[in-house]
Amino acid sequence: MSSDFDNRNYPEYIEKEFAFKVAKGQTPERIDQYLTKYIYNATRNRVQKAIDDKKVTINGKVVKSSRKVQPNDEIICKIMKAPPIELLPENISMDIIFEDDYLIVVNKPAGMCTHPGFGHRYGTLVNAVLYHFGMRNAIEIDDYDKENEEDGEEDNDNVINEAEIFASDSIRPGIVHRLDKDTSGLLVIAKNPQVHAKLSAQFANRTIEREYNALVWGEMKDDYGIIEGDIGRSPRDRKLFAVVKKNGKYAKTEYWTLARYKFVSLVKLKLHTGRTHQIRVHLNSINHTVFGDPAYGGDKMLYHGLPEINKIANRCLKNVNRQLLHAKTIGYTHPVTNEYLKFDSELPEDIKTVIDIIKTNF
C-alpha cells in the first residue's frame, strides 16, 4: 500500500486456531464444507488453503478436503484471518443537522463508510461518532472479517455487534441504518440502546419517512412509476445484485421524475422494501442506471446521440467518481418526545455541478 493509512486499513493476516468437536448427530460432510460453514466468515478458498498447508487435523491427523467429518471427531483448523477490528474514536468533522440528548441526524458525505469493515477500518462514521460522544479509547471487536459486506441503500442488519458495543455504558455509536460508502445523505444515530431499539423498530415497520434523489441516465418517460422485481445476487458477479426470477427477495421502489436534462433525469425515490443496492438495481433494470455508478455500468457512456450532447455527457462523467445517489429526506417519530421530526438536505455539489454543466450548455 502507498501510505500508512492504507496499511492500517489492510493489515497483515494472522493465523488463528479454531477447535471443534463434531456433534453426535452430525451427518457425514466434507471437511472443507464443514469448516466453511462453522468458521465465522471463512471463505472456501481460505479453508482450502489451510487444508493444502496441512493446517487442518481431525483427531490429530492431517486431512484432505475430501475427508468427511464424523460424530465426535475433534477438529483443529489454523486459518489466516484479518486481525480484530478496533473501534477507534477519531476527531473527524461531521455535518450534524440535528442533535439532542437522545439522537443526532448527520449528513454523511460520499466517500465515507458508515461503519468499519475490511479495507476501511478507520475514517468511518462510527469512528467520528465515538469521538463526538466523548469516547477516546479504542474498543476491539473480535471475529469481524466481512470482506464482501455490501451496504444497501436501506440495509438494517447490524454488521457490528451492537450488544457488545452497548455493553459499556460509555460507548454509544448507535448506528441504526446505513448508506453505501459512495451514497451521500441523512442518517439518524441513537445515543443509547433504548433509543436505538425504538428507532430500529420504526425502520423495521417502515414508518420512517425517507426520500432519495438520484441523477440517472436517460430522459425518464413517465412522471411517476413503481418498479417491482425480486432482487438477489447477480448470476454474473456474486458481489453485485440484480433483478432475478428465482432465489431473490421481493422489492418495490416508487419514483417521481423531478426534471429532465437532455441525457439525464433527476428523480425522487421512495423505498417500500430495503434490499441491498435496491435503488441502483431497480433503476438499472429499467435502463435508467444511476449516473456515475461504477458497479452497475453508470460510469460509462450510456447516451449515444448528437455529438455535441455526447461531448457534454463525457464532460459530466469526468466530474463524478461515484453513483449520484443522495438520501435527501428523513422523517421519524422521536422515540422519547413522540414528536414527529422531518429533515431535508441540499443536493451535494457533484450532482449540482452536473446539472449546472448541462444547463449552461443547452
Specify the CATH number for the domain of residue 282.
3.30.2350.10
Looking at the fold, whether 182 and 41 belong to one and the same domain comes out as: no
- From 116-120, 124-128, 157-161, 188-192, the region with the lowest mean pLDDT: 157-161
Looking at the fold, whether 348 and 224 belong to one and the same domain comes out as: yes
Tell me, yes or no, whether 335 lies in a domain: no
Looking at the fold, whether 30 and 120 belong to one and the same domain comes out as: no
What mean pLDDT comes out for the span 40-60?
90
Band of pLDDT at residue 86, cut at 50, 70 and 90: confident
Looking at the fold, whether 298 and 322 belong to one and the same domain comes out as: yes
Q: Could you give phi then psi for residue 107, rounded to 5 degrees?
A: -95, 100
User: Among 296, 328, 353, 361, which residue's Cα sits nearest to residue 213?
Assistant: 328
- Give the pLDDT confidence score for residue 1 in this predicted structure: 40
What is the number of other CB atoms lying within 10 angstroms of the CB of residue 14?
11
Which residues are marked as active site? 180
For residue 356, is pLDDT > 80? yes
Looking at the fold, whether 100 and 66 belong to one and the same domain comes out as: no
Domain boundary residue among 81, 99, 123? Answer: 81
- Check: pTM over 0.85? Answer yes or no: no
Band of pLDDT at residue 185, cut at 50, 70 and 90: very high
Tell me, yes or no, whether 13 lies in a domain: yes
Which cell numbers hold the place of 255?
A: 419514483
Read off the pLDDT of residues 294-314 as tens digits, 9 standing for 90 and up: 999 999 999 888 899 999 999
Helix, strand, coil shares of the chain, percent, nearest 5, are: 20, 30, 50
Q: Which helix (H) or strand (E) holds 252?
A: strand 252-261
Of residues 256 and 138, more confidence is placed in 256
- From 130-134, 254-258, 347-351, the region with the lowest mean pLDDT: 130-134
Domain of 53, in residue numbers: 4-81
Read off the pLDDT of residues 276-292 as tens digits, 9 standing for 90 and up: 999 999 999 999 999 99
